[in-house]
Chains A and B, each alone.
Chain A
Amino acid sequence: MSIVHRPSDEALAAFAAGTLDEGLALVVAIHLEIDPVSRQRLRDLEAVQGALLEAAEPAAMSGTFGVLPLASRGIADSGRPAAAPERGLPRVLRPYVIGPWRKIGFRIAMRRVDVPGAEARVFMLRAAPGVSLPHHKHSGLEWTTILSGAFEHDHGRFATGDFDEAGEEHVHTPRVDPVEGCTCISAVTGEVLFQGWLGRILQPLVRL
Chain B
Amino acid sequence: MVAALALTRTEMAGAHGGRVVALFDPNALIDAIARSGDRDAFAKLFDHFAPRLKGLLLRSGAPPELAEEVAQETMLTVWRKASLFDPAKASAATWIASIARNRRIDIARRDTRLRLSQVYEILDEDEPERPDDLLYGAERDALVRSAVSELSVDQLRVVELAFLQGCSHQEVASRLSIPLGTVKSRLRLAMAHLRGRLEDLR
Q: A and B from one assembly? A: yes
Contact of B71 among A29, A50, A55, A61 (CB under 8 A): A61
Contact A53 B96 (CB under 8 A): yes
Contact B97 A80 (CB under 8 A): no
CB distance from B86 to the nearest CB of A (A): 11
With the chains together, A54 CA to B8 CA distance in Å?
11
A26 contacts across to B, CB distance below 8 A: 116, 119
Contact B166 A48 (CB under 8 A): no
With the chains together, A44 CA to B95 CA distance in Å?
12
Contact B83 A16 (CB under 8 A): no
Contact A49 B80 (CB under 8 A): no
With the chains together, A86 CA to B95 CA distance in Å?
29
With the chains together, A73 CA to B83 CA distance in Å?
6
Nearest to B94 among chain A residues (CB) is A50
Contact A58 B51 (CB under 8 A): yes
Contact B123 A59 (CB under 8 A): no
Known A51-B141, A56-B59, A70-B37; further 5 A-B contacts with Cβ < 8 A: A33-B126, A44-B198, A46-B97, A47-B144, A71-B33
B144 contacts across to A, CB distance below 8 A: 44, 47-48, 50-51
Contact A13 B166 (CB under 8 A): yes
Nearest to A69 among chain B residues (CB) is B80
A135 contacts across to B, CB distance below 8 A: none
A57 contacts across to B, CB distance below 8 A: 52, 55, 59
CB distance from A1 to the nearest CB of B (A): 16
How many residues on chain A are close to B (CB under 8 Å)? 63
The verdict on A68 contacting B67 (CB below 8 Å), with A20-B166, A55-B149 known, is no
How many residues on chain B are close to A (CB under 8 Å)? 85
B98 contacts across to A, CB distance below 8 A: 46, 49-50
Within 8 A of A (CB), among B154-169: 159-160, 162-169
- 11 residue pairs bridging A and B, Cβ less than 8 Å apart: A9-B187, A13-B162, A17-B166, A46-B90, A50-B90, A50-B97, A51-B144, A51-B149, A55-B149, A69-B80, A79-B114
B84 contacts across to A, CB distance below 8 A: 74
B164 contacts across to A, CB distance below 8 A: 17, 48-49, 52
The verdict on A49 contacting B166 (CB below 8 Å), with A58-B52, A61-B71, A77-B121 known, is no
CB distance from A38 to the nearest CB of B (A): 11
Contact A52 B75 (CB under 8 A): no
Contact A56 B56 (CB under 8 A): yes
**Is A88 located at the chain interface by the 8 A CB criterion?**
no
**Is B115 located at the chain interface by the 8 A CB criterion?**
yes
With the chains together, A52 CA to B187 CA distance in Å?
15
Contact A18 B72 (CB under 8 A): no
Within 8 A of B (CB), among A135-180: none
Contact B51 A60 (CB under 8 A): yes
Within 8 A of A (CB), among B166-202: 166-169, 187, 191, 194-195, 198
